[in-house]
Amino acid sequence: MVHPSTMRYTGRLAGYYERLEKSNSGVFITRDQIDRENPSTMGQLLQHVPSIRATRGRAGITSVRMRGRTCWPLVWIDGTPMPAGEVDLDAFSPSTIQGIELYLGSTTAPIRYMYNRDLSSCGTILIWSRGPDTDPITSTPTPSVDLEALVSQFSVFNAEQVDRRAVLDTTRLLRLSFPAPLFAAGIPGLVIAEFVVDTAGKVEDGTVGIVSSTAPLFTEAVRVALESASYIPAQKNGHPVRQLVQQPFEFSVPRPSRSR
């Protein structure tokens, strides 16, 4: 189980993740919420947010107004302000957005995102895009060998066929990291992986497959961890043998997940 009590965030989204984890001001829309609702436009995404009014304007622009305001909020895209005029939020596809922060007043936004009092007086919207740092670079791992054939040929044994099952070597550190975006949002997860542990206690290349996973980022974390994982190999008739292992990896957070 991965159960960190704190997380040190780095990279371009570090500030966003820190604020999301604390959630002590502003309204947050996470990637998990965006993917779950699957809106086709930003207007659809924002129309159910309390204290936010999203309407289609005369020029076809999706206008957003904060509670009690008749002027447009200042929009920032990946840390860059857009102060020249009202931004058509429907120009941004929800599927490209990692997270959104909405600050209703002129003084509630983070200090670095207060452009000036006039422009920030109608509220502030911070939009953060997806990219290589938010999505797994590799696809879900699949075995390059026929695991069932190996078992049927007794080249590899399953858990019921060995005298002592292969287990993680607890004297070695398992480098399993909690994905920062999911920890910040308070999202727990579970991955069940299947792979072959060889007679030296290492996970064999080309044998890793994913039985089930609650999120691609959790899958990627497990894939990376298994590359250097150490096991005590299985034994049969007093000798180490290769074993097909099916193992769960649980990711737990010390607080409930966010919901809208």
Residue whose structure tokens are 């894939």: 223
pLDDT in tens, the chain (260 residues): 777 767 899 999 999 999 999 988 899 999 999 999 999 999 999 988 888 988 877 667 888 888 888 888 999 999 999 988 888 999 999 999 999 999 987 778 999 998 876 777 889 999 999 999 998 878 889 999 999 999 999 999 999 999 999 999 999 989 999 999 999 999 999 999 999 999 999 999 999 999 999 999 999 999 999 999 999 999 999 999 999 999 999 999 876 655 55
Q: Which two tokens stand for residue 218?
A: 């959790």
For residue 136, the model assigns a pLDDT of: 85
For residue 120, the model assigns a pLDDT of: 77
Domain 147-251 indexed as CATH 3.90.1150.10: no
The rounded distance, in Å, linking the Cα atoms of 157 and 132 is 38
The rounded distance, in Å, linking the Cα atoms of 42 and 97 is 10
For residue 255, the model assigns a pLDDT of: 66
User: Residue 173 in contact with residue 197, Cβ under 8 Å?
Assistant: no
For residue 254, the model assigns a pLDDT of: 78
14-129 belongs to which homologous superfamily?
TonB-dependent receptor, plug domain (2.170.130.10)
User: Residue 225 in contact with residue 162, Cβ under 8 Å?
Assistant: no
For residue 117, the model assigns a pLDDT of: 67
The rounded distance, in Å, linking the Cα atoms of 74 and 83 is 6
Cα R_g (the chain), whole angstroms: 24
pTM tops 0.75, yes or no: yes
The rounded distance, in Å, linking the Cα atoms of 221 and 135 is 11
14-129 shares its CATH topology with 147-251: no
The rounded distance, in Å, linking the Cα atoms of 206 and 201 is 15
For residue 259, the model assigns a pLDDT of: 52
**Residue 56, SS3?**
strand
User: Residue 162 in contact with residue 203, Cβ under 8 Å?
Assistant: no
**Residue 209, SS3?**
strand
- The 8-class DSSP code of residue 27 comes to E
> Where exactly are the structural domains of the chain?
14-129, 147-251
Distance of CA 247 to the CA centre of its chain: 21
